[in-house]
Structure 1
């Protein structure tokens, strides 16, 4: 009994020491900065060898961390990709199979898990579905697609409009929170998500002036005739010449098109307010900056368009597309640089994991296309760079097959949080930390659903390895395609019926069936979603993306 006071005293000392150590231990948990741009093609990042643009600030993450060359998505379309990222599950599980179908709100998202484990969470920019993200302490989110100029935001306190260019505004919000909004005693998980470079590609006025003076190299497949491909490639509606819109996309004023009539002969269906939707939000001062460039584009179009050949028109549309798209990218790169500079200057960089990615790939004229949706590489592959000082070796290039399905589990494990067992991805930690022998994935699964709808890319699912890609197009067709990724990197020749590849086809079909079973996908689910889609009476041409 005489030892009891001493034991009480000792216990008190231990508890006090534990309490004193907790903040220090908490501080060691890494911060997370997840940066995502919308429709940012890997071909438009100089770290991936782009011949179109220099992106020195985004490239910093590759130079100081790891660049993934075989990162890809499970479904190449915006809202479904974001649902996969947030839940770590395929879309047939989280319900968000396309931009129209509702998200299953009973699903747990990784921000919720971070929040429950002591992280302060925030989200600024474009979410693209839902205005009240779960598990996020602070947020300002663009409603729907959002606007490039003077954007509106949904916030916990209500809706607001902020004057300025959207990429700058989202970055200002992010920096303000990092500087003044966060609790410095807690680790943070911040999602910094750009609208750009999503269609309709309105650059900031100074970038608009700069990039309209530039000319860009054409992709080798700009005039692809899809000769050795299936029905899906031949019938997709995303050709630059025949489907890219003159007012909405190329910035031709509707009045000029009407005035030119048959001389313009665009024969392209335009969105209502396709031009004035973005331009109409500009103030008089902003319009004064845009008008000289717009006038120059429109004057040239009026004087030259009627006499151009089809080939010349295609080339002009490609240049106009790249000028605007890459002008938007340039602002993204500048603003990513602002945030990385702040992390460095504030000392946060040392203990912050920075991820840069996109919600999918994008066509920059390859195969004559814009947009995404296909399992083909430009659409299927996505940029991914991860910087984590002292953990990820600087300048590492990784070619393993990784997916947006893996992001949630990776970030949770990096923070020392056990991910839920029902997540379907694989943590990238073995790759990030140099323990590649622990990585055992050799194939990924893909499934695209949104058909019939805008761009008319047929439903398909498939399996992709480093060497091959096997896809099954279904719904109103029953066609298979196989591509040799190493010998045919542009995916110009479907070798599914080539006898030399019969063994590959058989092996991949078996693996594909196994993946479908592993991820709990099935022909019955395919039919279920077809039936639901039909019951919703989706009409071709609705702006679901």
Structure 2
């Protein structure tokens, strides 16, 4: 009897040791997976960072991060407006594939997204801040829907959840948690959101995680950053881009002072998060991304905000730091990268198989080989102009490309814009239709047509896409008709 018990005890002991070894092996295997943190700003244009050459903005933490990162000089928003960028990033698809080419339209619940993919791979997933993918039912008030909680089945694979669909009231900001309970962020929401992100990181030091931290600023309103950051900027000291019209220069300096205050506040918050990541010992095995959905014209060309095809609107900052794979020194990338390329590239870095639903390109191998991307051009599109750039405000449908050197854009009537961005960095000399650039224009037209063919884009009028997807325009004056369309084209033909 004693011998039997002894043998049983030895067997049990060996079994427990084997189980412990197996669990330890699994734990070590899990720890090899890189964490992913995606920090997303809203409306931060590529030009407004110290490391990008700005003489105005104060961004010491992002400048230091750039010195350890892959620095992308031509990161291009495929459709420079909020919801279309978010849906394109989340799915790795172009806007006319997933149908999200207009703000506040719902990304399908069944979409295959970043959160779902990383969760399936065993990652803990978290999302903090602005979502802007839930949309609203047909005919519902789009802006009222921005204050409602996102149902659990519509969270696209994210479990840790501190989210508001949309707000730009950064000092009176609320969110919904995992149980749809409403809470308020204390003070300027950027800082408590960052604290929430740090808490999530510290709770997951022994398990791979995918976290998105989605800030609202520096999106307007431009004057709501904390006073300590506003005091850093004096309007009379701000240097303007040469493409700001003279009659708007005082207004531009006023707006930029507020915009820069938001940027510096975000920079401070990002510095806090980077410090916490270092303290947690996770820096080397974490893919850390900083980017934005789109830029802001900020009175360049005499206009504010986004949707336009100029660099202030379409180019965004993009830093990717992953020391275990790419080291700790700065590497500059000049070939264009497009929104649909971001998720496939992150999955490639994470050694996760890329689903065939994705249309973007995985550039992780090129980056590992310390080469540029070999990508000729990024696609830019606005299938439907809306809200501040609706038809009544001069909005127009367009398709275009941004290469390392050139910008080429068409509207429904044909070629609209052509810039040599190397010789004309502020895009003040439109070369469309000039005989000496005819061959260049034809070459760029061929590249654009190849992109449209590859993405099955027939470049139809806006109404056709709205009808295809059973969408309604959100405001009067959005919908076109044949007379209005003809007039709009005639008015804008020579811009």
TM-score by length of 1: 0.76
1:444 aligned to which of 361, 378, 381: 378
Distance 1:497 1:357, change over 3 A: same
Instruction: Name the counterpart of 1:170.
Output: 193
Q: Is 1:110 aligned with 2:48? A: no
> SS state of the match for residue 111, structure 1?
helix
Say which is worse superposed, 30-39 or 504-513, in terms of deviation. Answer: 504-513
Instruction: Sort the Cα spacing of 1:461 and 1:92 in 2 relative to 1 into closer, same or farther, 3 A.
Output: same
- In structure 2, the partner of 1:94 is 98
Does structure 1 conserve the Cα–Cα contact (< 8 Å) formed by 2:243 and 2:428?
no
* 2:156 aligned with 1:134: yes
Distance in 2 between residues matched to 1:510 and 1:479, nearest whole Å = 12
Q: Would the alpha carbon gap of residues 117 and 319 (structure 1) be closer, same or farther in structure 2, given more than 3 Å must change? A: same
What residue is the counterpart of 1:389 in the other structure? 323
**Are residue 318 (structure 1) and residue 265 (structure 2) matched?**
no
Tell me, yes or no, if the aligned pair for 2:384 and 2:462 is still in contact at 8 Å: no
Task: Tell me how large the CA RMSD over aligned residues is.
Answer: 2.6
Structure 2 alignment gaps of length 5 or more: 1-13, 135-149, 479-495
TM-superposition CA deviations, 1:240-295 (whole Å, max 9, x none): xxxxxxxxxxxxxxxxxxxxxxxxxxxxxxxxxxxxxxxxxxxxxxxxxxxxxxxx
More contact order relative to length (CA 8 Å, sep ≥ 6): 1
1:212-223 equivalences in 2 (<5 Å) = 215-223=237-245
CA contact 2:335–2:374 (8 Å) conserved in 1: no
Inter-partner Cα distance in structure 2 for 1:398 and 1:139? 34
Alignment partners' CA distance in 2, 1:402 and 1:432: 12
Secondary structure in 2 aligned to 1:328? helix
Aligned to 2:399, which of 448, 457, 461?
461
| Structure 1: segments with no counterpart, 5+ residues | 1-9, 225-310
TM superposition outliers: structure 1 runs of 4+ over 6 Å: 10-16
Taking the aligned partners of 1:43 and 1:412, their CA distance within structure 2 comes to: 27
Superposition deviation, residue 62 in structure 1? 0.9
Deviation at 1:362? 1.8
2:268 aligns with 334
Q: Distance in 2 between matches of 1:488 and 1:431?
A: 29
Superposition deviation, residue 208 in structure 1: 3.0
**Contact 2:159 2:178 (8 Å CA) reproduced:** no
Distance 1:525 1:119 in 2: 42
Residue in structure 2 matched with residue 193 of structure 1 by the alignment: 214
Matched position secondary structure for 1:454: helix
1:415 paired with 2:346, answer no
Q: 1:104/1:388 Cα in 2 relative to 1: closer, same or farther (>3 Å)?
A: same
Are the aligned partners of 1:452 and 1:540 in contact in 2 as well (CA < 8 Å)?
no
1:74 aligns with 2:10: no
Aligned residue number for residue 465 of structure 2: 529
Matched, 1:486 2:422: yes
Within the candidate set 65, 68, 78, 1:64 is matched to 68
For residues 52 and 456 of structure 2, the distance between their equivalents in structure 1, rounded to whole angstroms, comes to 34
CA deviation profile, 1:423-468 (whole Å, cap 9, x unmatched) = 111122134313427x442122111133254233311011222232
Structure 1 window deviating more from structure 2 (193-202 vs 329-338): it is 193-202
TM-score when scaled to structure 2? 0.83
CA contact (8 A) 1:391 1:432 kept: no
Could you tell me whether the CA contact under 8 Å between 2:129 and 2:216 is conserved in 1? Answer: yes
The Cα of 1:129 is off from its aligned counterpart by: 2.5
CA contact (8 A) 1:214 1:323 kept: no
Equivalent in the alignment of 1:398: 333
Describe the shift of the 1:365–1:526 C-alpha distance in structure 2 as closer, same or farther (beyond 3 A).
Answer: closer
1:24 CA drift (Å) = 0.8
Q: Which moved more, 1:325-334 or 1:453-462?
A: 453-462
